[in-house]
Chain A
Amino acid sequence: MRQSAFVFVSANDDIVFEEFDGDFVILDLQSGEYHAVEGSAAILWKLLMDGICPKAILDEFEAHPKLTVNQIEEYITNLVENGLIKESDQLAVAGLSEDDKASLLALTAAPKTDLFSDLSDLILADPIHDVDEEAGWPVRKPQ
């Protein structure tokens, strides 16, 4: 992760994210988890989705006044491990703008995403119901 110069993208078509004045919501339709992303986390998410590679971001935290490389790297790793983003096979072309660098330098709080809502009970698979042919209707299989 630390040295990755590749673009990171949303992990699959089941990841939906929407921006509101720099904040984001992310819905993972596979897990049913719905996240609110604000502050440091929102800035990092936007940079990653804009095609900035982890290495370029993490380099900015080598001499950061408030946050460490490890904190940021751990956050990006969590995004990958939670199935929200993945490394693509495309090398990053875009770099950080001066405004991007200034906003990273101004961060004071470690990034985190908050679970907004859990829809997993609606979306996740469960054991199939069998049919009660007498009633002509599917019924739950005996456990």
Chain B
Amino acid sequence: MNSPVKSFRLTIDNVACYAMKLWSDLDALDTAEWSTETIQVAGRRLELRSPSRYYLDLCLDNLVQEAFDQSEPVEVTEVIVLDRQDVPSLLSARWDTDNFSIKAFMESLADENLSGVYDRDADFWQFYDHEAKRGLYILRSPASVPPWEPAFPLRNFFHWSCQGTSQGLLHAGTVGVDGEGVLIVGPGGSGKSGTTLAAILSDMDSVGDDYVLASLQDDLVIAQPIISKMKQDSAGLKRVGLNSADEVFEGPNWQQKYCFDFTALGRGKRADYLKINAILLPRISLADKTTFTRASGLQAMGKLSPSSLHQLTGDWKRTVQFSASICRRLPAFHMNLGTDAKEISDSLRQFLKGQMQ
């Protein structure tokens, strides 16, 4: 019979104590056999530690890594990723309260300069210590990695690490030429990924299609790559002349989409960064030609902000304020999409040239 697991009587008020106790228990463990990877992503040096390779490999496969000098003295963020089966003695949480509120949970953590989430449905805990620069991600089992996780490993940790900076994650596609480009923003079915992919196939550059890291530098908006892959369904690939059976495409995933690193297509390249000049809001118009009409900042905000609020946990106020800063700085345009991928990408290239002037 298994020995009973130690449990911590958890309330919303003492959730920070639970996080700190977890860290202190882990600090006392012998972790010499754990795997470690040090990587740099969007200017952040990360030391990833885990008893198993699975999640580390997920990060290596899906995050855009920058070259870095090991001897350079920079701040390093440690993130420990483990599952209960890796560390069976890990302190368990026993809720001693009637209602769970993620908002109250995060406010309680914020009092101790922590961020975190307890995901009730996906069965994971995440904590981030802003002062010590360390993160902790506890899964129930190796198989309980949420299906959306491979698309953007460590998503919340990157989100929380932006607190107190002039950076933030944006849910947007990007397309550019000669270091300058646009954000392409819209919900599923709007044509966001199809437009980005058509442009990449026409040799335009990108820093990503799903999430990018944006920095506000005076009046400028700079976008950097953070995740390496984009997603498209079989029909979307077919519309631009690609075949989902090609070995470049992994999947389909839980959304019936195929994941791929667009640089493997041998056309547009991944830029180190793009200076963003405008926000495009694509919409299917079935017109003969693609046209651009001016949109309001409010309309841009309506496309940019809700998806980020839904997919990034906590710091909701900051997420709104950051999205608003982007929408106030950049002109926005409806992009009324034609039906031909080549015509769409040619129109987009002309638009980019106009914006650069």
Interfacial chain B residues near A25, Cβ < 8 Å: 298, 301-302, 305, 320, 324
Instruction: Indicate if A63 sits at the interface (CB-CB under 8 A).
Output: no
Flag if A20 contacts B104 (CB, 8 Å): no
Kindly count the residue-residue contacts between A and B in the assembled complex, taking CB atoms under 8 Å apart: 114
For A140, give the chain B residue with the smallest CB separation. Answer: B120
Flag if B297 contacts A125 (CB, 8 Å): no
Instruction: Indicate if B4 sits at the interface (CB-CB under 8 A).
Output: yes
Flag if A16 contacts B103 (CB, 8 Å): no
Docked CA distance A29–B317 (Å): 8
Flag if B90 contacts A136 (CB, 8 Å): yes
Segment at the B interface, from A45-53, A71-79, A81-89, A115-123: A115-123
Flag if B296 contacts A125 (CB, 8 Å): no
Of residues 53 through 79 on chain A, the ones whose CB sits less than 8 Å from some CB of chain B are none
Interfacial chain A residues near B320, Cβ < 8 Å: 16, 18, 25, 27
A11 to chain B, nearest CB (A): 14
Flag if A18 contacts B324 (CB, 8 Å): yes
Docked CA distance A135–B97 (Å): 20
Docked CA distance A27–B297 (Å): 16
Flag if B99 contacts A128 (CB, 8 Å): yes
Q: How many residues of A contact B (CB 8 A)?
A: 33
Instruction: Indicate if B140 sits at the interface (CB-CB under 8 A).
Output: yes
Instruction: Indicate if B95 sits at the interface (CB-CB under 8 A).
Output: yes
Docked CA distance A20–B303 (Å): 14
Interfacial chain B residues near A34, Cβ < 8 Å: 305-306, 309
Instruction: Indicate if B92 sits at the interface (CB-CB under 8 A).
Output: yes
B176 to chain A, nearest CB (A): 24
Flag if A125 contacts B317 (CB, 8 Å): no
B162 to chain A, nearest CB (A): 17
Interface of chain A, helix or strand or loop or mixed?
strand
Contact of B95 among A16, A29, A116, A130 (CB under 8 A): A130
Instruction: Indicate if A36 sits at the interface (CB-CB under 8 A).
Output: yes
Instruction: Indicate if A99 sits at the interface (CB-CB under 8 A).
Output: no
Docked CA distance A22–B322 (Å): 18
For B105, give the chain A residue with the smallest CB separation. Answer: A125
Interfacial chain B residues near A38, Cβ < 8 Å: 298
For A18, give the chain B residue with the smallest CB separation. Answer: B324
Flag if B298 contacts A137 (CB, 8 Å): no
Contact of B317 among A16, A124, A135, A138 (CB under 8 A): A16
Flag if B84 contacts A116 (CB, 8 Å): no
Contact of A137 among B100, B123, B301, B305 (CB under 8 A): B123
Docked CA distance A43–B116 (Å): 38
Docked CA distance A137–B118 (Å): 11
Instruction: Give B79-120 as 1s and 0s: 1 = Cβ < 8 Å from A's Cβ atoms.
Output: 000001000101011110111111110000000000000101
Contact of B93 among A36, A138, A140 (CB under 8 A): A138
Of residues 77 through 134 on chain A, the ones whose CB sits less than 8 Å from some CB of chain B are 116-117, 119, 122-131, 133-134
Instruction: Indicate if B122 sits at the interface (CB-CB under 8 A).
Output: no
Contact of A29 among B296, B305, B316 (CB under 8 A): B316
Of residues 13 through 38 on chain A, the ones whose CB sits less than 8 Å from some CB of chain B are 16, 18, 20-21, 23-25, 27, 29-30, 34, 36, 38
Docked CA distance A63–B316 (Å): 42
Docked CA distance A126–B104 (Å): 12
Of residues 323 through 352 on chain B, the ones whose CB sits less than 8 Å from some CB of chain A are 324, 327-328
Flag if A129 contacts B95 (CB, 8 Å): yes
Contacts A133-B92, A140-B120 hold; do A20 and B102 have CB atoms under 8 A apart?
no
Contacts A131-B93, A137-B84 hold; do A20 and B301 have CB atoms under 8 A apart?
yes
Docked CA distance A123–B309 (Å): 10
Flag if B321 contacts A136 (CB, 8 Å): no
B264 to chain A, nearest CB (A): 35
Flag if B302 contacts A128 (CB, 8 Å): no
Docked CA distance A137–B93 (Å): 7
Flag if B100 contacts A128 (CB, 8 Å): yes
Interfacial chain B residues near A119, Cβ < 8 Å: 306, 309-310, 316
Contact of A125 among B94, B104, B123 (CB under 8 A): B104
For B123, give the chain A residue with the smallest CB separation. Answer: A137
- CB<8 Å pairs between A and B, sample of 11: A18-B324, A20-B328, A21-B297, A25-B305, A25-B324, A117-B305, A123-B102, A127-B100, A136-B90, A137-B140, A140-B120
Nearest 6 CB-CB pairings of A with B: A20-B297, A125-B101, A18-B324, A136-B5, A117-B306, A23-B298
> Which A residues contact B (CB, under 8 angstroms)?
16, 18, 20-21, 23-25, 27, 29-30, 34, 36, 38, 116-117, 119, 122-131, 133-138, 140
